[in-house]
């Protein structure tokens, strides 16, 4: 990321490296707000269409986040996930969350849709918690700061391309 710094009356360009783990944590912070919102409004939601539209918002926002983790982050860590027996599990959890959100759209009654969306949000929270407690610290432990910063740059390029 380029920042401009005013020094002695002149702007200097500064390269600021953002670690991929910081990027993902920042995205998680937004998701925690979204999950709080969904859980707060869900009990008083009165139509199936409203519940489905909440599921759509979660799906649309989660898709690029999970893709970043799968494409940029999981591959360099694959070997370490294998060592702690978690490799399949993390890929699997993304799929389980997608499947639960897809199931909301298939629900035919309000209560079923609410229950399925509630369990999708609970699955997200538990998955995010695991990433924050285990995966991100492990990445910062085993990958070099430079690698984390290069992955952060790769994330930024992907976001610029998708604008
Ligand atoms: Fe994830
Ligand atoms: Fe995540």
Q: What residue segments make up the domains of the chain, in order of their start?
A: 20-144
For residue 124, report the distance from its CA to the centre of ligand 2, in Å. 9
pTM (two decimals): 0.86
pLDDT digits 0-9 by tens, 88-98: 777 789 999 99
Quickly count: other Cβ atoms within 10 Å of residue 15's Cβ. 9
Quickly count: other Cβ atoms within 10 Å of residue 151's Cβ. 24
pLDDT digits 0-9 by tens, 82-121: 887 776 777 789 999 999 999 999 999 999 999 999 999 9
For residue 131, report the distance from its CA to the centre of ligand 2, in Å. 6
For residue 48, report the distance from its CA to the centre of ligand 2, in Å. 28
| Token pair in block for residue 3 | 């920042």
Task: Please tell me the number of the ligand nearest to residue 93's CA.
Answer: 1
């Amino acid at each position: 990321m380029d920042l401009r710094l005013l020094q002695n009356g002149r702007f200097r360009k500064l390269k600021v490296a953002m670690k991929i783990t910081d990027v993902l944590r920042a995205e998680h912070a937004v998701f925690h707000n979204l999950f709080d919102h969904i859980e707060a409004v869900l009990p008083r939601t009165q139509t199936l269409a409203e519940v489905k539209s909440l599921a759509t918002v979660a799906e649309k926002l989660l898709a690029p986040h999970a893709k970043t983790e799968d494409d940029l982050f999981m591959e360099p860590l694959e070997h370490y996930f294998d060592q702690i027996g978690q490799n399949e599990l993390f890929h699997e959890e993304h799929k389980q969350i997608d499947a639960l959100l897809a199931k909301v759209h298939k629900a035919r009654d309000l209560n079923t849709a609410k229950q399925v969306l509630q369990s999708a949000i609970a699955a997200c929270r538990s998955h995010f918690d695991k990433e924050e407690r285990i995966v991100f610290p492990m990445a910062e432990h085993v990958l070099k700061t430079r690698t984390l910063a290069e992955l952060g740059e790769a994330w930024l390029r992907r976001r610029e391309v998708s604008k």
